């Protein structure tokens, strides 16, 4: 059975997801890893607006642009809260 992955930028608010893969260059990947966005990590999408997305990662809220969020592939764990 294959995993259903999608870009983080398309995940609606209230969904809990697991990071599957970061498809970015070395610099951006390193920065995301430093913020806790690593493969296997569970993330809660708290806000998904037109220009940015707010996540809760390891109890800390971070904000990413839609462009950066589109480089992060995730698998959905729960439906909207």
pTM of full prediction above 0.85: yes
Whether residue 9 is contained in a domain is answered as: yes
Q: 57 is in which domain, residue-wise? A: 5-76
Each of the 81 residues of the chain gets a pLDDT tens digit; together they read 457 899 999 999 999 999 999 999 999 999 999 999 999 999 999 999 888 999 999 999 999 999 999 999 999 987 554
Domain total for the chain?
A: 1
Residue 14 lies in a domain: yes
pLDDT for res 1: 44
The answer to whether residue 81 sits within a structural domain is: no
| Residue in this structure with the two tokens 């707010």, named with its chain if needed | 54
3-state per-residue secondary structure call for the chain: CCCCEEEHHHCCCCCEEEEEEECCCHHHHHHHHHCCCCCCCEEEEEEECCCEEEEEECCEEEEEEHHHHCCEEEEECCCCC
Residue 66 lies in a domain: yes
Domain CATH code at residue 56: 2.30.30.90
Query: Is 65 within a domain?
Result: yes
Domain presence at residue 16 = yes
């Amino acid at each position: 059975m294959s995993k259903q992955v999608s870009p983080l930028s398309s995940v609606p608010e209230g969904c809990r997801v697991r990071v599957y893969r970061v498809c970015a260059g070395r610099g951006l990947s390193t920065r995301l890893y430093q913020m806790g966005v690593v493969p296997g990590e569970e993330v809660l999408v708290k806000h998904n607006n037109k220009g940015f997305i707010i996540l809760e990662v390891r109890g800390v809220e971070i904000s990413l642009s839609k462009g950066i969020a589109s480089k992060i592939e995730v698998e959905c764990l729960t439906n909207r809260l």
